Amino acid sequence: MKKIKFTSTNLINVILISLLLLSCSKNSDPSTGKIKRYEPNVTKKMEAADRGIFFDRGKSSKNNTFDFATSNVMWRATLDAISFMPLSNASYSGGIITTDWYSSENNKEMIKLNIRFLSDQVESSSIVVSGFKRSCSDIINCVTKPTDQSINQSIKLKILNKAREISLQEAAKKKK
């Protein structure tokens, strides 16, 4: 076994690393060096946490808008438009919906969709639909090709029409 020699350089390095690790502690206030006391009031704790380094987000905390999937019209419209297809992946944070292979009557032809969201605006440039068609002569021999642009465009129009419908319904609810 090799013994480690403690030289002055090693000792200085250990002290510097220890000081760096101690300075990263969240329990002390850097201005006073005292240990912070935890606020038992949840509301005050949230207000304190809402302040940023560069911008004071605490001032606008009453006007927060939340980016949940239920508030995004395009996301909801897409799920409604393709509700007949089984989903393989739906990632709201990633902005993508992928369906599983779908066949209505003929098991020899199946379709799969990838829908990417570029923004939450109800515009044709906010969404990209790409589809794939699988044709099988038997279980082993299958050929997969991209779908025609007309199919992708018709699905995109169906989604946009549904999004407009949802937007109009929400606007009517707000007027009441």
For residues 164 and 19, the model is more confident at: 164
Of the chain, the end-to-end C-alpha distance in Å amounts to 81
Residues 147, 133: Cα–Cα separation, whole Å: 6
Residues 85, 112: Cα–Cα separation, whole Å: 9
pTM: 0.59
Assess if residue 30 is contained within a domain. Answer: yes
Assess if residue 114 is contained within a domain. Answer: yes
Domain that holds residue 42: 8-63
Confidence bin at 143 (pLDDT 50/70/90): very high
Residues 103-137 pLDDT 10s:
887 778 999 999 999 988 888 899 999 999 999 88
Q: Tally the domains of the chain.
A: 2
- Do 76 and 160 lie in one domain? The reply is yes
Listed residue (95, 99, 98, 97) closest to 118, CA to CA: 95
- Do 51 and 92 lie in one domain? The reply is no
Assess if residue 1 is contained within a domain. Answer: no
